[in-house]
Chains A and B, each alone.
Chain A
Amino acid sequence: MLSRVASNIYWMARYIERAENTARLINVNTHLLLDLPRRVRLGWEPIVDITSSRDYFYSLYDDADERSVIRFMVMDLNNNSSILSMLSMARENARAVRDIIPREAWEQINELYMRAKKDAPGVLTQRHRYDYMRSIILGAQTITGLLAGTMTHDEGYDFLRMGRNLERADMTTRIIDVRSAALLPDMSEDMTTFENLQWMSVLKSLTAYQMYRREMRLQISRPDVLKFLLQEDRFPRAFNHALNEAKSCLFDLPANDKPLQLIARLERKLMRAKPQALKQDKLHDFIDELQIGLIDINNCISEVYF
């Protein structure tokens, strides 16, 4: 398989996954803001932080008000991590491998981009926003499903799955990091309900709420949520699961020693830690380490295969 093709497929999957995750984030934040009392609302700035584009955002906008952040995150083509930019990059990557991926998948990707572009102005009003985000999420899921059901599960598919899962792991850490950092540090007792609401929103942004409930059968609480989202190996959006998926893809690929070593190292780090016991700043450091681990894996894959 050509390196360029492998790289196009890998990035196509990453961009689609990232667009989906961004849509999830925006949806959940919209709802969360409606539930929290005015004085503890965190607004939209955390969303900008999650995608590490704080400086860039403030170079373009004065205020992190709802309208600006939504515009920035959904339709601003200057922003590489806006939903439209990512779908456009996913489409360009898909276009270059049109002869490799099933025709329907290309059509879906093309259509998703066109639709996202056409409907984008609607997201500035809250009423249409939910439907828009839902259609992005469903569109991305359709593509994932189509590829799983119609693409030969060969090396190309391994790169696709690897891209998707590394992106997923990355987004899960980002959501935990920003959400927990912003979580009401010195709140009085009566605020715990709201803290729980926040953790619930973390779970919901990953569609993990229901699964968490089934799995943990517990109240929503910080330690359990952290444990679930980082170390659970059966929930698809948990860090551990995503890492395992990436690992299983690598088993089928040539020259996999180095990337596998890096994954094993990160896995050890993840499983040895007790994230639930970590205080806020320590948790942040730990998440940093996980992200650096993912970056190293990504770089190693680029170096070996692309």
Chain B
Amino acid sequence: MAIRWGSYKVKNLFDELLRASGRPRPAAQALCSYLRTLKDRDIEAYKTAAESAIHVMGVTFTVYSEDEGSIDRVWPFDIIPRIIDKKEWQRIEAGLKQRVKALNLFIDDLYHKQQIVTDGVFPGELLEDSKNFRPQCVDVDPPLGIWAHICGSDLVRDKDGTIYVLEDNLRVPSGVSYMLENRQVMKRVFPEMFEQHNILPVDDYPSQLYDTLAALSPRPGNQPEIVVLTPGVYNSAYFEHAYLAQQMGAELVVGSDLVVGEDNVVYMRTIEGLTRVDVIYRRVDDLFLDPEVFNPESALGVPGLMRAWKSGNVALANAPGAGVADDKVVYAFVPEMIKYYLKQEPILPNVPTYKCIDKQDRQYVIENIARMVVKPANESGGYGMLIGPHASKEEREKFVRLIRRDPRNYVAQPMLTLSTAPTLIGNRVEPRHLDLRPFILSSKKTYVTTGGLTRVALRKGSSVVNSSQGGGSKDTWVVDLEAS
């Protein structure tokens, strides 16, 4: 028997599948007993089947190197799924909808009256040196008043079982294609499990995305022409761009395929000549979108795109400037935003966050820096962070100086112990830390993926789940216990 749950340690942390007693949680019961019946060679066979499915389906991310050109790497995938009870999921889903609604109201407010600043809830000075506030977007009215149509929020669970929102990605969040492909792999590997248990499907994301984008078309009534704008084949998420375009039946375009006419309308160059584009799902960062307005060196963008967008002749998803709420200092204010705009209590809590711009908070952070995770406001992917408990004395002192010099740019959070799930390491199961990235679509209606992308840190003890730093992924099952 390969999986010896007896040797699996769940002390002092929260495990997604097993309780501290070592017994499975209700939603994971069926899976755990199933896994127990497997022999070593079954597990080996399943693993091989999953690997070959991934290979055949061409699920990759791209790493570019000078010598080899671009290389497609397969992202490590673990065949033991992460399981969430549907009841718990419904609460998370409601919390995410509430959060994204407030974030969209906040962004729209910032680019118009800035009522939230006038009312003293959000400090205006934070905007002045925000790297993601775009003065070019002031007074623009995107369709439906929505700026962040696609949001990927990262959720983590602490050792006491509380789920926190760690951050909201409102610029060009990626990973959804892995969520979809992981499910395809699992269906090939464990068809019995899907037959016998009520695992909620995830496959409708591409059609939901299509509907979300179609609702933004400036020419309602017509069949909208939707395109996915990619930076190109060397982008690490190119696989996802191509995948989503294919799944939606949209054209995958690069900047040079598009042209903005004198009439401020966006066209694409086709073999039939120029044809009009209505909606652009852009996977290019703001600053590269339009060399007329932003980075003039950008070859990825389309000159005149901002003109066309401001004239309302084309919809951009996400809207330029939406990233202003994708900032670790702004993040700290999301609970206040929910109360301010929606007059509701937040359903999902933020990780307790100390804003260094606040004098009291700053003093607390500096005094307790050895227990803190300090994050710069505008970096992503884990860059420029201090992990207090693991840092040297010099590093901590350096960060104290950095915080004193530029307090606006830093927030700090207590160190969490991320929850774990059993993960196959060799032919043994061991606990590994993980997070969850659900995707939230907003246009006429709001849609949340069922579960999301579970990322797992494959290195023992590590909490870093990024694909570039030794992370892998798992399928995420939302299980309906009442229906089965």
Give residues in A with beta carbon < 8 Å to B: 1-4, 6, 92, 95-96, 98-99, 103, 106-107, 155, 253-255, 305
Inter-subunit contact A254/B271 (CB<8 Å): yes
Sample of 19 further A-B pairs with CB below 8 A, known A2-B270, A107-B58: A2-B251, A2-B257, A2-B269, A3-B270, A4-B253, A4-B254, A4-B269, A92-B233, A95-B233, A96-B232, A98-B233, A99-B242, A99-B243, A99-B246, A99-B252, A155-B271, A254-B271, A255-B271, A255-B272
Complex CA gap A95/B241 in Å reads 13
> How many B residues have CB within 8 A of the partner chain?
20
Complex CA gap A103/B239 in Å reads 12
Known A98-B242, A99-B246, A103-B58; judge A3-B271 contact (CB<8 A). Answer: yes
Closest to A95 in B: B233
Complex CA gap A103/B254 in Å reads 21
Residues of A near B253 (CB, < 8 A) are: 2, 4
Residues of A near B232 (CB, < 8 A) are: 96
CB of B268 within 8 Å of the partner chain:
yes
Residues in B223-254 with C-beta less than 8 Å from chain A: 232-233, 242-243, 245-246, 251-254
Inter-subunit contact B271/A1 (CB<8 Å): yes
Complex CA gap A107/B253 in Å reads 22
Q: List 30 A-B contacts (CB under 8 A).
A: A1-B270, A1-B271, A1-B272, A2-B251, A2-B257, A2-B268, A2-B269, A2-B271, A3-B257, A3-B269, A4-B253, A4-B256, A4-B257, A4-B269, A6-B271, A92-B233, A96-B232, A98-B233, A99-B242, A99-B243, A99-B245, A99-B246, A99-B252, A103-B58, A106-B58, A155-B271, A254-B272, A255-B272, A255-B273, A305-B271
User: Which DSSP category, helix, strand, loop or mixed, fits chain B's interface?
Assistant: mixed
Residues of B near A255 (CB, < 8 A) are: 271-273
Q: Nearest 8 CB-CB pairs, A to B?
A: A99-B242, A3-B269, A305-B271, A254-B272, A6-B271, A99-B246, A95-B233, A1-B271
Residues of A near B269 (CB, < 8 A) are: 2-4
Give residues in B with beta carbon < 8 Å to A: 58, 70, 232-233, 242-243, 245-246, 251-254, 256-257, 268-273
Q: Count chain B CB atoms within 10 A of each CB in A2, A95, A96 and give the residue with the most.
A: A2
Complex CA gap A255/B256 in Å reads 22
Closest to B56 in A: A103
Complex CA gap A6/B270 in Å reads 8
Residues of B near A103 (CB, < 8 A) are: 58
Residues of A near B252 (CB, < 8 A) are: 99
Residues of B near A1 (CB, < 8 A) are: 270-272
Closest to A99 in B: B242
Residues of B near A98 (CB, < 8 A) are: 233, 242
Minimum Cβ distance to chain B for residue A255 (Å): 7
Residues of B near A305 (CB, < 8 A) are: 271
Residues of A near B70 (CB, < 8 A) are: 95
Residues of B near A99 (CB, < 8 A) are: 242-243, 245-246, 252
Q: Count chain A CB atoms within 10 A of each CB in B70, B256, B271 and give the residue with the most.
A: B271
Minimum Cβ distance to chain A for residue B236 (Å): 14
Complex CA gap A103/B70 in Å reads 18
Q: Count chain B CB atoms within 10 A of each CB in A1, A95, A106, A255 and give the residue with the most.
A: A95
Residues of B near A3 (CB, < 8 A) are: 257, 269-271
Minimum Cβ distance to chain B for residue A303 (Å): 12
Complex CA gap A2/B272 in Å reads 9
Closest to A253 in B: B271
Closest to B272 in A: A254
Complex CA gap A165/B232 in Å reads 29
Complex CA gap A92/B64 in Å reads 14
Closest to B244 in A: A99
Minimum Cβ distance to chain B for residue A154 (Å): 11
Complex CA gap A137/B242 in Å reads 30
Residues of A near B242 (CB, < 8 A) are: 98-99
Residues of A near B243 (CB, < 8 A) are: 99
Residues of A near B257 (CB, < 8 A) are: 2-4
Complex CA gap A107/B272 in Å reads 30
Complex CA gap A32/B268 in Å reads 51
Closest to B232 in A: A96
Complex CA gap A35/B254 in Å reads 53
Closest to B234 in A: A95
Residues of B near A6 (CB, < 8 A) are: 271
Closest to B268 in A: A2
Complex CA gap A291/B246 in Å reads 39
Closest to A1 in B: B271
Complex CA gap A255/B272 in Å reads 7
Q: Count chain A CB atoms within 10 A of each CB in B242, B270, B273 and give the residue with the most.
A: B270
Complex CA gap A6/B271 in Å reads 7
Complex CA gap A2/B251 in Å reads 8
